[in-house]
Structure 1
Amino acid sequence: MRQHGDGRPREGGDHTAHLKEQSAQVCFSDAASPGLRARIIGDIRSLADFLEEHPELPISPHTSVDVSYFPRIDHDEAAFGEVAEAGARLGRMPVWEGEHYVVEHHQGAGRYRAVAIPALVRASYRAWLTWPGNVRPD
């Protein structure tokens, strides 16, 4: 496959192939161990089986199942890089959703998201959390 100078494929084929090739060596800062990952996936399957076996239990028409990954890193650029890496593996481009840098994959009512929250936004939120207990209505 011929490539542009920036590494993008020139014509046809999978336009994310070069990203997938580069991503093989990237480590994620807060990824679950293989054993824990398998347990979490098994728990999700078990919950689905349980709900299928108990049709008498109501499920809201607005139900969703979200699996989220948040980089555990102090440097914004590295966190954004992890989200971009997840996007490369998904074949999707991350976007800014408010003040969060996000890439996601939907599967019906299920959703996988990788989310980076900039340090300044996290600090602002922590500061905001100090106020609720200190301000009381009369």
Structure 2
Amino acid sequence: MDLTSRYEINQEIGHLSELARYYDYHGRTDVAQQYKRQLANLQAMVARAQLIDGLRALADFLDTHPDVPTNSWAHVSYSVTANDVDGGSEDAKRAEVGRVAAILGVTPTLSDSGSHYTALRTFGPVEFRATAITQEHMAMHEASGTYYGAVTP
């Protein structure tokens, strides 16, 4: 992303933020929400562009520095959380993985335990994976971490 584009995007982010604050302050939360959605979409586009730029920079760096060790594989993941989808329900999270699977041209799979719903596409030794994890499984995972450091094996 060039400097001019970055400046223009930052200007637009500032403008949308000000409009959202203005309408919130004046009790027009419906209008403020519209500006907040536009702001969130713009921020997501910027984050995506930065990720793509970073991946290209990494590839160029590795190409010009053969002495840097690498594994023979890499992966990029998209973790679908309750915050990523409207409603945040298990069905909504699975629908999001299904949507991504359709874009990738793959069929999503459910783990044997039923805890992970995943869409996976490989590009040579690089994989892109979209996963939704059930709330129940996340709660079990978080609970197991409560003893971390308190018990020595």
Q: Normalising by structure 1, what TM-score?
A: 0.69
Percent identity over the alignment is 33
CA distance in 2, matches of 1:84, 1:100: 13
Q: Which has the higher contact order (CA 8 A, sep 6+)?
A: 1
Matched, 1:82 2:96: yes
CA shift for structure 1 position 59: 2.5
- Asked whether 1:92 is paired with 2:106, we answer yes
- Aligned residues between the structures: 106
**Larger helix percent:** 2
- Residue deviations 1:53-74 (CA, integer Å, cap 9, x gap): 01122333xx322111112214
Unaligned runs of 5+ in 2: 1-39, 83-87
Residue equivalent to 1:65: 74
Counterpart selection for 2:127 from 101, 108, 111: 111
* SS of residue matched to 2:69: coil
User: Could you tell me the TM-score, scaled by structure 2's length?
Assistant: 0.63
1:44 paired residue number? 55
4+ residue runs over 3 A deviation: none
Residue 136 (str. 1) matches residue 145 (str. 2) = no
Amino acid at match of 2:67: E
Return the offset for 1:136: 2.5
- How big is each residue's C-alpha offset from its partner over 1:11-48, in whole Å with a ceiling of 9 and x where there is no partner? xxxxxxxxxxxxxxxxxxx9971111011011011001
Q: Which residue of 1 aligns with 2:13?
A: none
1:77-108 Cα distance to aligned partner (Å, 9 max, x none) = 11011001111112211001342100011001
Residue type at the aligned position of 2:93: A
